[in-house]
Amino acid sequence: EQSEMEKICKSPNTTSDGASFSLQANIEFKEELAAVRSVRAEGIGLLRTESLYLRHDQFGEEKQQKAFYHAILEGTNPHPVTIRLFDAGGDKFFDQGQQEHNPFLGWRGIRMLLDERALFQEQLRAILETAVQYPGRVRLLVPMVSSLQEIAVIKEVIKETEEELAAKTNTTHIDIQLGIMVEVPSVAMQAEHYAEQVDFLSIGTNDLTQYLLAVDRGNERISGLYSQRHPAVWKMIRHVSEAGKATSRPVSVCGELASDPVAACCLLGLGINELSMTPGALPMVKKALCRHSLDEMRKLAAQVSESITVSDVEDAFVKFLANE
Ligand code: PEP
Ligand code: MG
């Protein structure tokens, strides 16, 4: 006999009025693949790669990196896998004895990679070679982008690496989508200009919230001020969603907010129908999305858009749940 969970996972990804959505998984380790399959995630929306960086002192060792990516692609066939470049710094691993006063505002993500070119190129080679072997399934995601100039440089480095690889393997074109994390408020505010430069946007609400509210996401003393349900966060998300529509670029959410069932309904209401979350959260989110209509979700999104305080948002959420 099927459990309720199994039934939910096997049912189609559609709202009660037939609008479709896609749910993907955020993972970091191969060991999570069984969970990804059991909840029937449609691929990996965020593959964190910091563990590769942690495990090896000699950078990632390209071969081991490739073996890792291959394992993830094999284990999620035929779905897409979004590989995020190393996002070291901030709350993540920080080595080399380089302490900073404000690590979250410092040398992390793409900022670090652009300075550590050998490390960056090594990871790119491993990812691009994987993309050659799994055409159309690999998406490259860049963390902590905070300027258009960074995207221009990233594209150059990708092109160089592609050419190197083309000469070595006789491939002429590498089928890979390039996307950026939207987790810095200035990028969210100018999302349309960033969207034009890439193939997709992925909103990281964990960092976006901390930067927007000036609240360290790991500081317990002020954790009461940290809320991904803050109306200003929703305003930013709405703006990014509209920027995606205006430029015809897909926008997804891979921050914790996507694993909150009511928030997920609200995201759909704002036009974001691609969500990525920790595998364990997927059945509950799917259950909420399946039992409501897109029409109801749009109404919820409209209410949230008019909210001024966190409690306004929470009231709208409670009302939404009470109506079922
Ligand atoms: C985010 O910032 O929302 C995100 C998904 O990335 P991470 O939690 O790895 O910083
Ligand atoms: Mg982040």
Q: Does residue 97 or residue 27 have the better pLDDT?
A: 27
Closest of 212, 305, 225, 211 to residue 267, by C-alpha = 305
Q: Distance from the CA of 205 to the center of ligand 1, in angstroms?
A: 7
Could you tell me if the CB of 207 is within 6 A of ligand 1?
yes
Could you tell me if the CB of 85 is within 6 A of ligand 1?
no
Q: What is the C-alpha end-to-end distance of the chain, expressed in Å? A: 27
The yes-or-no verdict on residue 60 having pLDDT over 60 is no
| pLDDT of 186 | 98
Closest of 10, 245, 238, 244 to residue 257, by C-alpha = 238
Mind spelling out the 3-state secondary structure of 76-136?
A: CCCCCEEEECCCCCCCCCCCCCCCCCCHHHCCCCHHHHHHCHHHHHHHHHHHHHHHHHCCC
Residues annotated in a binding site for phosphoenolpyruvate: 48, 84, 206-207, 217
Q: Distance from the CA of 54 to the center of ligand 1, in angstroms?
A: 17
Q: Distance from the CA of 182 to the center of ligand 1, in angstroms?
A: 10
Q: Over the stretch 186-216, which tens digit does the pLDDT of each residue have?
A: 999 999 999 999 999 999 999 999 999 999 9
Out of 24, 181, 276, give the residue to mutate to test ligand 1, the one with the largest number of ligand atoms within 8 Å of its CB.
181
Residue 1: pLDDT band (50, 70, 90) is: low
Q: Return d(Cα 304, Cα 74) in angstroms, integer.
A: 40
Q: Return d(Cα 44, Cα 35) in angstroms, integer.
A: 12
User: What SS3 state is found at 252?
Assistant: strand
Q: Over the stretch 255-265, which tens digit does the pLDDT of each residue have?
A: 999 999 999 99
Q: Over the stretch 282-312, which tens digit does the pLDDT of each residue have?
A: 999 999 999 999 999 999 999 999 999 999 9
Q: Over the stretch 234-260, which tens digit does the pLDDT of each residue have?
A: 999 999 999 999 999 999 999 999 999
**111 to each of 35, 89, 107, how far by Cα in Å?**
33, 10, 6
Q: What does pLDDT average to over the chain?
A: 93
Beta partners for residue 304, in sequence order? none
With residue 84 as reference, give the H or E element that holds it: strand 81-84
Residue 173: pLDDT band (50, 70, 90) is: confident
- What does the pLDDT average to over 225-232? 97
Q: Distance from the CA of 228 to the center of ligand 1, in angstroms?
A: 12
Which atom of ligand 1 is nearest the CA belonging to 254? Answer: 5
Q: What interface predicted TM-score (ipTM) does this complex get?
A: 0.99
**Residue 165: CA atoms inside 13 Å, Cβ hemisphere, count?**
23
| pLDDT of 100 | 87
Give the active site residue among 9, 254, 265, 266. 254
Q: Does residue 101 or residue 152 have the better pLDDT?
A: 152
With residue 245 as reference, give the H or E element that holds it: helix 231-247
- What does the pLDDT average to over 162-191? 92
Could you tell me if the CB of 204 is within 6 A of ligand 1?
yes
Could you tell me if the CB of 205 is within 6 A of ligand 1?
yes
Residues annotated in a binding site for Mg(2+): 183, 207
Which atom of ligand 1 is nearest the CA belonging to 205? Answer: 3
Closest of 140, 134, 129 to residue 83, by C-alpha = 140
Structure tokens at 280: 């364990």
Q: Return d(Cα 90, Cα 216) in angstroms, integer.
A: 10
Q: Does residue 3 or residue 178 have the better pLDDT?
A: 178
Active site residue 265: no
> Per-residue b/e over 279-304, b at no fewer than 16 CB within 10 Å?
bebbbbbbbbbeebebebbbbbbebb
Ligand 1, atom 1, lies closest to the CA of 204
| pLDDT of 298 | 98
Q: Return d(Cα 230, Cα 145) in angstroms, integer.
A: 23
The yes-or-no verdict on residue 53 having pLDDT over 80 is no
Q: Return d(Cα 190, Cα 173) in angstroms, integer.
A: 30
φ, ψ for residue 161 (rounded to 5)? Answer: -65, -40
With residue 303 as reference, give the H or E element that holds it: helix 294-306
Closest of 237, 213, 240 to residue 301, by C-alpha = 237
